[in-house]
Structure 1
Amino acid sequence: MAGRNLSTTAANALAASQVRGVVFVEMDFPAGFLRLNNSAQQLNWNGFTWLGIGRLGSIDPVGEGMKLEARSLKFTVTGIDSANIAIALGQHYQGRACKVWLAPLDEAYAVLPDPVLVFSGRMDTMDVELGATATITVSAESRLADWDRPRVRRYNSADQAITDPADKGFDFVPQMVEKSLRWGY
């Protein structure tokens, strides 16, 4: 995490011989935000209660590099009651926000100020494995994944209405296609 802006308290905690930390994950589902942490208990931070999933969940390591490239991340939650799977599968989650923070803890396991945002992206896919209990794996991709996607725009009235419904400039384009203009009279 070199180069990140850390508060003095967080930097001192991370430089200590024994580092205590917690990871906060926030996923924006249509039914509401899902806020999790990797401890075994609920934690309060940033005005919200974050559900502790402990050993029932895992997060892929967050990668950084020198190259400008899209990064992805996978979150896995196990031990979910199969009756709750319909809730997860019935929501349109693709393209919705997903964030991960790393927060150092003090000796009393309280969250220190200014956790570091280590990943910000969008949810992409959700894989579900069913059994007596279910396992859900959500993959998220950074916003750089949009870099290579084509941006297709049309120069017509319907396309312009997406950006500005009040703009009627393209309404007159079809009648001008075969229009003969007299110039210089």
Structure 2
Amino acid sequence: MTLTPEMAVALASGDPRGLLVQIEHPSGTGYFSTGVGKVNWNGHDWLGTGKLGSITPIKYTSDISVQDIAFSLSGIDLDTVNQLNDSVCNLSGKVWLYCLTSDGTVVREPYQLVDSQLDYQKFEVDAEGKATITIVAHSGFYTLVRSSEEAWTPENQKLTYPTDTGLDMLYSLQNQDLQWTPS
């Protein structure tokens, strides 16, 4: 999870920002944003939930522990709730911080805040017959057993540090025979 130079500039300049939330579900993957309307990124239309969607505060601590995250969506009709009654255990929930450019497009490569494992979902129905779905996920300790997706390549180095040439010789060293003898 590295911050790209484009994203760093957008954050520093105060560009409009929000969260993108991807929730895997047996009924189909849901793509949501914290704004109003639709946002297009990564080949998907992310539906704006406005005040109807929420995420519990994301906690980062130095403790080795499992951190719970709750994704909630309100105002769902009961027919839809009946279709969403499957188990979500061990599916994925992801959250990215994004910024919008002046023309309303998402800045390339938003910053991923969360990659969590879903545990369970619960439903609550209000007096008007509208439901709130809450999906609880775990982040933190379970990710310690996952391998990093980072690679030590000149291309990945340039994403974070565009002018750095420190890894440019990596490929030429890969198959080089060296003699390790005392001189």
TM-score (ref. length: structure 2): 0.71
Matched, 1:84 2:88: no
* 3-state SS of 2:138 partner: strand
2:133 aligned partner: 136
Q: Is 1:105 matched up with 2:108?
A: no
CA distance in 1, matches of 2:119, 2:21: 15
1:145 shift after superposition: 4.3
Greater gyration radius: 1
What amino acid is the match of 1:68? I
- CA separation in 2, counterparts of 1:125 and 1:93? 6
* Candidates 10, 23, 47, aligned match of 1:13: 10
Q: Partners of 2:60 and 2:140 in 1: how far apart?
A: 14
SS of residue matched to 2:24: strand
Aligned length: 142
Q: Could you tell me how far 1:47 is from its partner in structure 2?
A: 0.7
Give the Cα separation in 2 of the matches to 1:145 and 1:12. Answer: 32
Which residue of 2 is the match for residue 46 of structure 1? 42
Alpha-carbon deviation of 1:70? 1.8
Q: Does the 8 Å contact 1:20/1:109 carry over to 2? A: no
Are 2:112 and 1:117 aligned? yes
Given the superposition, is the C-alpha separation of residues 42 and 67 from structure 1 closer, same or farther in structure 2, using an over 3 Å criterion? same
Report the counterpart of residue 64 of structure 1 in structure 2: 60
Point out where structure 1 has 5 or more consecutive residues left out of the alignment.
148-185
Letter aligned with residue 31 of structure 2: R
Q: TM-score, normalised by structure 1?
A: 0.70
Alignment of 1:156-175 (within 5 A): none
What is the one-letter code of the residue matched to 2:68?
S
Runs of 4+ deviating beyond 4 Å: none
SS at the partner of 2:7?
helix
Provide the rounded CA distance (Å) in 2 between the counterparts of 1:108 and 1:81: 34
Which of 89, 95, 99 is the aligned partner of 1:94? 89
Distance 1:143 1:15 in 2: 28
Structure 2 unmatched ranges of 5 or more: 145-183
Give the Cα separation in 2 of the matches to 1:103 and 1:5.
13
Tell me how far apart the structure 1 counterparts of residues 87 and 120 of structure 2 sit (CA, whole Å). 10
Contact 1:103/1:116, CA 8 A, preserved across alignment: yes
SS in 1 for 2:107: coil
Q: Which has the higher contact order (CA 8 A, sep 6+)?
A: 2
Q: Are the structure 2 counterparts of residues 99 and 146 from structure 1 closer, same or farther at C-alpha, using a change threshold of 3 Å?
A: closer
Instruction: Give the residue type in structure 2 aligned to 1:79.
Output: G
The one-letter code of the counterpart of 2:114 is F
The one-letter code matched in structure 2 to 1:39 is G
Distance in 1 (CA, whole Å) between partners of 2:143 and 2:22 is 21
Corresponding residue of 1:73: 69
